[in-house]
Amino acid sequence: MEFTEAYKQTGPCCFSPNSRYVAVANDYRLVIRDTFSFQVVQLFSCLDKISYIEWALDSEYILCGLYKKPMIQAWSLTQPEWTCKIDEGPAACVHVQWPKHGSKGVAFNQDGKFAAICTRRDCKDYVNLLSCQSWEIMGSFAVDTLDLADLEWSPDDSSIVVWDSPLEYKVLIYSPDGRCLFKYQAYECGLGVKTVSWSPCGQFLAIGSYDQMLRVLNHLTWKTFAEFLHLSTVRAPCCAAIFKEIDEPLHLDMSELSLDENFMPSNYDASEGYISVRYEVMELPVAFPFQKPPADKPNPKQGVGLLAWSKDSQYICTRNDSMPTAMWIWDMRRLEVAAILVQKEPIRAAVWDPTCTRLLLCTGSSHLYMWTPSGAFCVCNPLPGFSISDLKWNIDGSCLLLKDKDAFCCATVPALPESSDYSSDD
């Protein structure tokens, strides 16, 4: 892998839809860099600290959410003199959509022509369909939820899934004209749905619950296609490869290299020297670190809190928040666990390569962890003091963005060979 140098950031960073640019928030400034040279191509000054960034689908315009004002500013890359500012102003508003949630409950269909918006009035939840061309309400229908949490379009735009708050296990499938196609409830009298995601092919709907189970529905009958349980101990018989991250110190005398401490590599420890990590394949049985959440605190750290599909919809990765250091990878063709990655630290983020079956994850360390059906391996980020806390791919898979607390860098990941056979070494 090849890494760029580190660049300063204080907020969100995201690639443009055409993968040509990366937008970076740096306090009041919006910095646009070219993804080939990483030179600054545009610099915009906002009226307050940037809290949110979003590109237009054509990569021509970009907006910044300034949540402290509150205000939105938009900019054009080809016409730097053009700008747009949206705020409430002294005249207030003459009409309001009354969205139920501030940061969720709004979903666009695949071509961006329609938006489904969660609303609530008279103690009842509704879904409003908004035309993004005429900005007119095309329809509205009530949904059978006690407290609607969120919604999402299916990949083919034929249906919309909505789910209730964690206090009520309820998942509902609606057609865009408001017909309820299916109602799913796995159990009662317990915390319910935590994560929901359509497969890219649109044939499966994955539901992660607080009971530590992953359930998958098929799009033909909407019945349960598979159920996967995150066990605290995996015993034989099990065909999955279990990879555990371990330290492998390399004792080198740094005094002979005469390097300044400010330029020490990110994997150097003063007491142990270079710290290299690698994966070791474990023998069964294997017990995973388990955290039992306290019963007297809200928002318990349990259940499936992270869920993501591979590009080909064959694999799905999950993290059970009660076992935050374990990443489970399920094979939807064989309906079994394919691999489990056991990390030293809790998993912060995981993303699938948009071009092939390759999973990348980070734990807040200097290392980047990868899995393919052929094996798992670790890569160290050579930038001094850089701890990877978040990951983002650009749309064509040519560049990977890595975020630290106050900096970011990008990396190019080599294409997978046709017959890759990775070992577990660094």
Encoded amino acid at 135, one letter: W
- Burial code (b: 16+ CB inside 10 Å, e: under 16) for 169-201 equals bbbbbbebeeeeebebebeeeebbbbbbbbbee
CB 386 within 8 A of CB 351: no
Residue pLDDT, tens place only, 329-341: 999 999 999 999 9
Tell me, yes or no, if the pTM score tops 0.85: yes
Residue pLDDT, tens place only, 254-278: 555 444 444 445 555 544 445 789 9
Q: Give 399's pLDDT tier (boundaries 50, 70, 90).
A: very high
* Predicted pLDDT of residue 21: 95
Take residue 124 and report the two structure tokens written for it: 């009842």
* Predicted pLDDT of residue 248: 82
* Predicted pLDDT of residue 297: 78
Sheet with strand 241-250: strands edge to edge: 268-269, 273-281, 241-250, 336-342, 326-331, 315-320, 304-309
Q: What is the dihedral of CA 374, 326, 378, 392, to 10 degrees?
A: 100
* Mean pLDDT for the chain overall: 88
Instruction: Tell me which architecture the domain covering 9-89 has in CATH.
Output: Beta Barrel (2.40)
- Burial code (b: 16+ CB inside 10 Å, e: under 16) for 281-318 equals eeeeebebeeeeeeeeeeebebbbbbbbbbbebbbbbb
CA 263/CA 351 separation, integer angstroms: 30
In the chain, residues under CATH classification 2.120.10.30 are: 97-203
CA 331/CA 180 separation, integer angstroms: 30
β-bridge partners, 246: 278
Top-ranked range on mean pLDDT: pick from 66-75, 219-228, 297-306: 219-228
Average pLDDT over residues 286-295: 85
Q: Give 18's pLDDT tier (boundaries 50, 70, 90).
A: very high
* Predicted pLDDT of residue 92: 41
State what percent of residues in the chain have pLDDT above 90: 74
In the chain, residues under CATH classification 2.40.10.480 are: 9-89
CA 178/CA 140 separation, integer angstroms: 7
Which of these, 235, 206, 254, 188, lies nearest to 340 by C-alpha position? 235
Question: Is 97-203 CATH 2.120.10.30?
Answer: yes
Which of these, 210, 202, 203, lies nearest to 149 by C-alpha position? 210
Q: Give 238's pLDDT tier (boundaries 50, 70, 90).
A: confident
- The angle subtended at Cα 360 by Cα 199 and Cα 194, nearest 5°, is 45
* Predicted pLDDT of residue 346: 96
Name the more confident of 404 and 297. 404
Average pLDDT over residues 378-383: 93
* Predicted pLDDT of residue 309: 98
290 has pLDDT over 70: yes
CB 97 within 8 A of CB 140: no
* Predicted pLDDT of residue 300: 78
Residue pLDDT, tens place only, 178-231: 999 999 999 998 899 999 999 999 999 999 999 999 999 999 999 999 999 999
Residue pLDDT, tens place only, 153-190: 999 999 999 999 999 999 999 999 999 999 999 999 88
Take residue 360 and report the two structure tokens written for it: 């990348």
* Predicted pLDDT of residue 89: 56
311 has pLDDT over 50: yes
